[in-house]
Structure 1
Amino acid sequence: MTQPPPPPARELPGVGSPLAAATLTAVLVVLIWWAFVTRYRGQVLEALAMQGSHIGAWRIDAQADQLLSTVSVPMVAAILLTVLVIGIVRGRWVAGLAAAAAVGGANVTTQILKYRVFDRDDLLDLGGWNSTNTLPSGHTTVAAAALVGLLLVVPPALRSLTTVVGTLAVCAYGLATLVNQWHRPSDVLAAILVSCAWGYLAVAAIRLAERHGRLRDVRHSPGAASVLLVALGICGVTLAIAAGYIVWDGNPNNADRMTGLIAYAGGVSALIGVCAGGMGTLLRLLDATRPLPRARERVELGGISVPQPSPPA
């Protein structure tokens, strides 16, 4: 019996979808800055949210301080080294380098945007901190970029679990900055989007560098995780819009506790929604890129499915 031919080579999915996602995400960062930093009503909504963040903050501010204290330059360096090592161990040099570039690029981009590109005027005459630009949040960027880097290099079997657990962790970091009044909701949203944009660019780079390979599983479904995360993202953003509508005419100078609480709940909903939607989209793009699992890779030979070895993960 003759040896069956190897599976035909096939290009990976194109780079159009990750590049489009990265472009849209970058546009959203600018729109968030424009709407909540340069517009009077945007500053009002965030001032109301900041007032609401004080309600009950004393119950968890110590834990928030402990969580935020873990963020440091050595932590960023450790994340870079970790994603590189995982990529090398798995034989995925391109993915490891792309992950490291995404982690470093997201953190550098946040600092450039915050201190060199975006500015803020005190449109509410509140003085002090209200005239200081804090968008995007550096602490949230570190957490979100770490998750993006891990998703790019972990084995496919661990991606869904990593995404779900990591999304919860990123939301915790973002919420901690709100609880401690270090950042406004828009700062956290922009930080997550910056990290996701670099993740989408990394997916495009991986597809471009590894565009020729063994047969891909076109029937593969990314599973429930990405669908649920994107659905949660839509729900979170919808709730945030509803909260903004309710408190639209609020005034930070005489707002009651309920108005502040609703505005704050809207900011938290937006945080959860953007994080879940952004990471769910990244998971979907990565699942569309992964190779055909070994047990399902087949070559049709005379009506008989013959399994073929696949390269190491």
Structure 2
Amino acid sequence: MGKRLTVARRELASLRSEKTIVLAILIQLFIAAFSSFLAVGLVSLYDPGSVSEGFVVEFAVTGEAGDDIAPVIEREGGWRAVEYGSYGSAMDAFRGGEVHAVLYVDRLPSGQADVEAVVPDGNIRTTLVVTQVRDALDAFERAERKRLRAQLERTPIDLPRDGESSPYFGFTYTVLLPLLMFLPVFLSGSVAVDAIAEEYDRGTLELLRVTPLTATDIVDGKLAAMGALAPLQAGAWLALLSLNGTDISNVAEILLVVTGFSVGVVAMGAFAALRFRDRKQAQFLFSMGILVVFSATYLLPEPPANTVAKLAIGSPQPLTRAMVAAYVVCGLAGYAALRRLVATRGIGE
């Protein structure tokens, strides 16, 4: 064990000279340390409608069915409908800046409503207006479904209820937190590739092999250093989020998920480095493998990001805890497979 810890300390000490890695860690530190401030700006990109307080969107409504959509728009506090007798007059008002968008609503022979929406092009408010137009059309769709329900031969599936949760809450737990938890995992795997591939490039692996260290000791030491990097960073980010007022539940289980992924991803990186020995090829293989693996996780009953989010908000289900165990088992299985490969084939030429 002492030999492996020596290798691990050597690897961690060498990270200080890697400017790219240090910069990546500093960026994550900045995001975690100032998360409460960054969330305000980032949520405006994640959900532009959440920052529209005080901004009343004025819709120019025209067309045969304009009288049907106008009351729907007026029912919302942040919208105002202005009816026009013709499409041309509505467009004149739009070009003159009197309204923010135009909704031309016509009725098809089948009774369906055909809506043509016109929004600003290249305006600073374009994203916000487009979001409000989408919400207005969603509200109109619900009103139409309710009005025509009695005429339908089959009962349609009910639309999902409008969400009432804060966009800041959703962004923090479903985007920001998973990002801070899994970004160190990717970083650790990439560092593991470099840590082994550079030994081949520099010819220093032969020096390690003439020491009392075995091939398994060398790989174990490197993997211990890289595998511990992600959980340590994740723990620091969770502490900073808590200091910024973000309540995090089930911290131990979240770190367990990160540890399981870290072990598995670092093992993938080490395998790529041992297989190709060339840094560029190994990094390419590792990157492609990570994309495939993490894309495949979204086919699972509960993806990793959802697992972390549910644990963080304190509402884990039995499936959530089962997925935590599955991630840990998969990580350990990957490490065991790599260790067996090293023990049987070694790491030399």
Same fold (TM over 0.5): no
Higher relative contact order (CA 8 A, sep 6+): 1
TM-score by length of 2: 0.28
* TM-score, reference length from structure 1: 0.31
